C-alpha cells in the first residue's frame, strides 16, 4: 500500500454512486488522495446503521454499482473496504431461516445467544463484566423456531452477532473476504472487531481470544493479498498492544489530543502520545463516526479490585474538551451526541472537525498539517476534505446523531466547496504530503511553550526533510522542506489559498 493520503467517503454521499465517487476522486481531488476508503456499499447500503448492518455482505447494492466499479476504482487508487466481522442484519437470509426453523436451520450455530455463550447460565457478575459501547445488556429477545431466546446484539437489535468460531460463521467471513479480494481491494477494515469473540467470565472485549482471532484473520487476508486495518476504540495502551500484531491500527487518540492542544495551547499530552503511539497507524481527525473521547480517557474495562489505568487526558480535561466542542459548534454537537439524538455511543462527540474548531480556517489547517506530518497513513473524511459544516437539518430530519457529520453533497456543492481557500489549501497540503519523500521514517517531536515542532526525514531519500512548527495558541503554522525538487516554505505551498480566522 502506498504511503499517501486516503479519502474516506460514502459511495452515495459524494457523487451518488461508485462511478461518480471515482470521478470526484480522479478529477475534483486529482493528486490529493492515493487511496479511498469506501464506506459500506453492500446490500443494503442504507439500512438501520448506514450500511453497517449488511443483509448480503458479498453483494454490491445495485443502486450504487457493481463489483466492476470497485475494480475500476482499485485500478487507480488503493481501495479500502469494511469487513463487518461482528454481526449481520437481522433481515439476512441466514438469520431469517434461523427465526423460522430454530435449531433445525443449518445456520443455527452461526448466531450467538446468551445460552450459547453461557451454557451453564450467567451470574450477575458475569453479565456486569460484559463491555458494551451503549447502556444496557447486549441481548434482544427473539423467537427462534418455537423458542424465545436472548440473541446477542452488541450494537442494535437490527445487528445480530455471529459466532466467528462456528463453521457457518467462519465460512461466511471467508466468502466475504474472497469477494473483496477478487475486486482488487488493498485493505480491509475490521469493523467492531474488538467485540467479535465472546468469552464467559470476561469483558468479551479485546480479550486474548480476540487477539488470537485477529491474528488468524489477518493471516487469511494476507494469503489473499489483502492487508488488515483494525478498528477498536479503547484505552491507548491497548492500541499500542494491537499495533504489534496487525498490519495497521487506527490512531483514534489523535483527534481529541489535537483539539485539546489547539483549545488550550498546551502541547504536553499530544507530545507524550506522539512519542509513544504505534507507527503502523492510520491517522484520522474525522470519520463517519464521532470524535472519540474514550481513546484518551481511563480504561473503561478495568474490573473490581484491578488497578486503575489513567488516560492521556484527565477526566477534567476531557470534560473541558467536550464542553469546548459544544461551545464552538454553537450547541449542534450537544444536540447530536448521546441519548439526546438517539445515539447512545457515549464515547463519541458528534460534529464535523471543522465546526469543532469553530470554523477557524487557520486552526483547521494547523490540525490537518499536524495529522499529515504524524507517522502513518493519513485518512481524511469527505466532509472534512470539503471543510464541511454540521448538517443540523439532516440531524433534525433523522434524529440520528452521527448524521450531523454525514452530509450528502450535490455536484454543485462540491464545486462551491472547491472554490473555498481553506479547501484548496487542504488539498494542496495533501498533494505535498504525497509528493515529498520525507514521510517514510520516524518523527522527531519537541515543544517549547505553546509551540509544537515535528521533523520528518526520509528513509529511502535521506535528503528529504520536512520541518513543522505550530504555535498552538494562535494556530500559526510554519512548514519548511527540502527534497529532490528543491526547498520551500508554507508561503510557497499555499500562495494561492489565503485563509481567514474564526467566524
Domains delineated in the chain: 6-85+166-189+230-437 (3.20.20.80)
H helices present in 223-251, as ranges: 236-243
Alpha carbons 472 and 370: distance in angstroms, whole number:
11
Active-site residue, from 28, 82, 161, 191: 191
Vertex 366, ends 364 and 369: CA angle to 5°? Answer: 110
124 is catalytic: no
Low-confidence winner among 195-204, 249-258, 436-445, 487-496 (lowest mean pLDDT): 487-496
Answer whether residue 22 shows pLDDT above 60: yes
Query: How far is the CA of 187 from the CAs of 225, 261, 379, 391, 489, in angstroms?
Result: 9, 31, 13, 30, 34
Provide CB contacts within 8 A for 305, sequence distance 6+: none
pTM: predicted TM-score of the whole model, two decimal places: 0.93
CA-nearest of 78, 466, 107, 115 to 282 is 78
Mean pLDDT, the chain, integer: 92
In 252-399, where do the E strands start and end? 281-283, 291-292, 348-349, 377-381
User: pLDDT confidence of 134, banded at 50, 70, 90?
Assistant: confident
- Residue 2's CB is within 10 A of a number of other CB atoms, namely 12
Give me the mean pLDDT over the 258-275 stretch: 97
User: Could you give the 3-state DSSP secondary structure of residue 160?
Assistant: strand
pLDDT band at 342 (very low <50, low <70, confident <90, very high): very low
Share of the chain above pLDDT 70, in %: 97
Within 8 A by CB and 6+ apart from 162, the residues are 85, 86, 87, 88, 110, 111, 112, 169, 172
Residue 13: pLDDT over 70: yes
Q: Which of 4, 53, 69, 231 is catalytic?
A: 231
pLDDT at 502: 55
Q: Decide if 28 is catalytic.
A: no
* Known binding-site residue numbers for substrate: 49, 87, 189-191, 231, 288-289, 345-348, 402
Cα–Cα distances (Å) from 147 to 100, 144, 154, 163, in that order, read 10, 5, 21, 19
pLDDT tens-digit readout, 386-411: 999 999 999 999 998 899 999 999 99
pLDDT digits (tens, 9 = 90+) for 449-477: 999 999 999 999 999 999 999 999 999 99
pLDDT at 68: 97
Annotated binding site: 49, 87, 189-191, 231, 288-289, 345-348, 402
Backbone angles phi, psi at 257, to 5 degrees: -70, -35
Amino acid at each position: 500500500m502506498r504511503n499517501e493520503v486516503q479519502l474516506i467517503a460514502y459511495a452515495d454521499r459524494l457523487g451518488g454512486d461508485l462511478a461518480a465517487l471515482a470521478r470526484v476522486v480522479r478529477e475534483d481531488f486529482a493528486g490529493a488522495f492515493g487511496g479511498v476508503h469506501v464506506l459500506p456499499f453492500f446490500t443494503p447500503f442504507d439500512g438501520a446503521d448506514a450500511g453497517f448492518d449488511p443483509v448480503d455482505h458479498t453483494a454490491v447494492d445495485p443502486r450504487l454499482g457493481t463489483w466492476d466499479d470497485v475494480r475500476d476504482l482499485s485500478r487507480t487508487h488503493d481501495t479500502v473496504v469494511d469487513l463487518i466481522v461482528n454481526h449481520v442484519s437481522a433481515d439476512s437470509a441466514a438469520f431469517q431461516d434461523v427465526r423460522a426453523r430454530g435449531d433445525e436451520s443449518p445456520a443455527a450455530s452461526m448466531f450467538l445467544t446468551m445460552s450459547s455463550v453461557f451454557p451453564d447460565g450467567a451470574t450477575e457478575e458475569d453479565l456486569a463484566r460484559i463491555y458494551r459501547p451503549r447502556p444496557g445488556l447486549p441481548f434482544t429477545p427473539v423467537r427462534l423456531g418455537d423458542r424465545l431466546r436472548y440473541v446477542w446484539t452488541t450494537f442494535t437489535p437490527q445487528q445480530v452477532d455471529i459466532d466467528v468460531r462456528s463453521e457457518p460463521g467462519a465460512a461466511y467471513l471467508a466468502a466475504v473476504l474472497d469477494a473483496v479480494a477478487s475486486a482488487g481491494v488493498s485493505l480491509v477494515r475490521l469493523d467492531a472487531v474488538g467485540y467479535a469473540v465472546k468469552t464467559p467470565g470476561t469483558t468479551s472485549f479485546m480479550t486474548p481470544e480476540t487477539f488470537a482471532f485477529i491474528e488468524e484473520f489477518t493471516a487469511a487476508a494476507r494469503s489473499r493479498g489483502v492487508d488488515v486495518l483494525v478498528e477498536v476504540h479503547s484505552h491507548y495502551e491497548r492500541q499500542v498492544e494491537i499495533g504489534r500484531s496487525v498490519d495497521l491500527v487506527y490512531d483514534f487518540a489523535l483527534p481529541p489530543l489535537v483539539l485539546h492542544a489547539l483549545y488550550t495551547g498546551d502541547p504536553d499530552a499530544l507530545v507524550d502520545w506522539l512519542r509513544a503511539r504505534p507507527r503502523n497507524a492510520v491517522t484520522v481527525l474525522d470519520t463517519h463516526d464521532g470524535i472519540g473521547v474514550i481513546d484518551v480517557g481511563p480504561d473503561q474495562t478495568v474490573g473490581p479490585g484491578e488497578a486503575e489505568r489513567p488516560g492521556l487526558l484527565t477526566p477534567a480535561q476531557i470534560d473541558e474538551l467536550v464542553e469546548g466542542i459544544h461551545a464552538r459548534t454553537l450547541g449542534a454537537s450537544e444536540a447530536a451526541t448521546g441519548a439526546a439524538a438517539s445515539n447512545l455511543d457515549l464515547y463519541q462527540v458528534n460534529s464535523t472537525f471543522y465546526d469543532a474548531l469553530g470554523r477557524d480556517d487557520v486552526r483547521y489547517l494547523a490540525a490537518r498539517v499536524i495529522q499529515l506530518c504524524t507517522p502513518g497513513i493519513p485518512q481524511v473524511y469527505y466532509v472534512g476534505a470539503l471543510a464541511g459544516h454540521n448538517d443540523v437539518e439532516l440531524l433534525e430530519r433523522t434524529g440520528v446523531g452521527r448524521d450531523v457529520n454525514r452530509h450528502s453533497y450535490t455536484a454543485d456543492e462540491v464545486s462551491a466547496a472547491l472554490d473555498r481557500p481553506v479547501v484548496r489549501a487542504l488539498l494542496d497540503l495533501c498533494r505535498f504530503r504525497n509528493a515529498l519523500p520525507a514521510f517514510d521514517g520516524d518523527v522527531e517531536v519537541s515543544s517549547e511553550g505553546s509551540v509544537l515542532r515535528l521533523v520528518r526525514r526520509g528513509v529511502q531519500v535521506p535528503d528529504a526533510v520536512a520541518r513543522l512548527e505550530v504555535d498552538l495558541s494562535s494556530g500559526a503554522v510554519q512548514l519548511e522542506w527540502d527534497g529532490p525538487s528543491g526547498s520551500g516554505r508554507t508561503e510557497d505551498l499555499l500562495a494561492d489559498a489565503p485563509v481567514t480566522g474564526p467566524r
